[in-house]
């Protein structure tokens, strides 16, 4: 990255964080989603219409505990923080160097920490979600509490997404929501096997599918109401 590119990136981050500071806690689902897609350094790999619908549900739920597996650049993490309870505990698990998204670099941690509302507690775990040590860390953070909103967007292989569900869904309280990204069938070469697991798990729950375009490989959000 050239000096000019780094300088532009730093300026963009500074402007973004200035706006977050100014409007922190007052974002609507519409303004939060618009905000993240206006900034390349934060823009999530999501279909805006799908993300907006989830943001509205999270806003209505006002969860006090949120866990996201797979945060990438932090776009969806920002939306969940702004829609959650002002004093929520939010946990992000992201694997540096992972096959799906690759995780954020260490120098982005100060930026990621600013995505939360002022009174929220945000825990950034740069770790493998499949390790039981990581689950133990989450349990320690929750202090015997339960997750109210879980968003799974990490390992997109069949075994990977299944393991994330099996490890962390028991931590979700009754009445909570579990979301999966990329439920639309995608090429196996890209590890796009979330659809396979989603089609297996959804009949066991009240569920909802948010799909803007079924011809678009990948994308689509599936929600389980537990």
Domains of the chain: 3-225 (3.40.50.150)
Asked if residue 225 has pLDDT above 90, the reply is yes
Mind listing the pLDDT tens digit for each residue in 55-94?
999 999 999 999 999 998 899 999 999 999 999 999 999 9
Strands laid side by side in the 172-181 sheet: 121-125, 89-93, 65-69, 147-152, 172-181, 221-225, 206-210
Distance CA 142, CA 217 (A): 35
How many other CB atoms sit within 10 Å of the CB of residue 35?
19
Residues 6+ apart with CB under 8 A from 39: 12, 16
CA distances from 25 to 57, 79, 149, 205, 207 (A): 17, 11, 18, 32, 29
Residues 6+ apart with CB under 8 A from 6: none
Distance CA 215, CA 185 (A): 9
Distance CA 54, CA 163 (A): 23
Of 178, 165, 150, nearest to 92 by C-alpha is 150
Mind listing the pLDDT tens digit for each residue in 148-204?
999 999 999 999 999 999 999 999 999 999 999 999 987 765 558 999 999 999 999
Of 195, 211, 184, 186, nearest to 49 by C-alpha is 211
Tokens of 121: 């507690």
How many other CB atoms sit within 10 Å of the CB of residue 140?
10
Asked if residue 123 has pLDDT above 70, the reply is yes
In the DSSP assignment, the letter for residue 84 is S
Which pLDDT value is given to residue 3?
34
Of 179, 162, 166, nearest to 67 by C-alpha is 179
Tokens of 135: 């689950």
pTM of the model: 0.90
Which pLDDT value is given to residue 12?
64
Which pLDDT value is given to residue 13?
66
Mind listing the pLDDT tens digit for each residue in 3-54?
334 444 555 666 777 777 766 778 999 999 999 998 877 888 899 999 999 9
86-115 burial string, b = 16+ CB within 10 Å, else e? eebbbbbbbbeebebbebbeeebeebbebb
């Amino acid at each position: 990255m050239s000096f000019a590119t780094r300088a532009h990136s730093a300026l963009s981050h500074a402007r973004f964080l200035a706006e977050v500071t100014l409007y922190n806690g007052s974002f609507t689902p519409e303004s939060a989603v618009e905000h993240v897609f206006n900034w390349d350094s934060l823009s999530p790999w999501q279909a805006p219409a799908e993300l907006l619908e989830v943001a509205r549900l999270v806003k209505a739920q006002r969860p006090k505990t949120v866990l996201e597996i797979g945060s990438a650049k932090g776009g969806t993490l920002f939306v969940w923080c702004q829609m959650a309870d002002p004093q929520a505990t939010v946990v992000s698990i992201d694997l540096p160097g992972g096959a799906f998204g690759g995780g954020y670099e260490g120098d982005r941690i100060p930026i990621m920490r600013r995505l939360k509302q002022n009174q929220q507690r945000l825990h950034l775990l740069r770790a493998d979600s499949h390790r039981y040590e990581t689950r133990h860390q989450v349990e320690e953070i929750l202090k015997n509490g339960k997750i109210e909103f879980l968003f799974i967007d990490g390992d997109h292989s069949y075994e990977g997404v299944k393991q994330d569900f099996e490890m962390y869904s028991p931590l979700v309280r009754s009445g909570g929501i579990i979301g999966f990204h990329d439920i639309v069938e995608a090429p196996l070469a890209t590890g796009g096997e979330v659809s396979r697991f989603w089609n297996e798990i959804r009949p066991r729950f009240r569920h909802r599918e948010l799909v803007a375009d079924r011809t678009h490989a990948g994308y689509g959000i599936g929600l389980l109401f537990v």
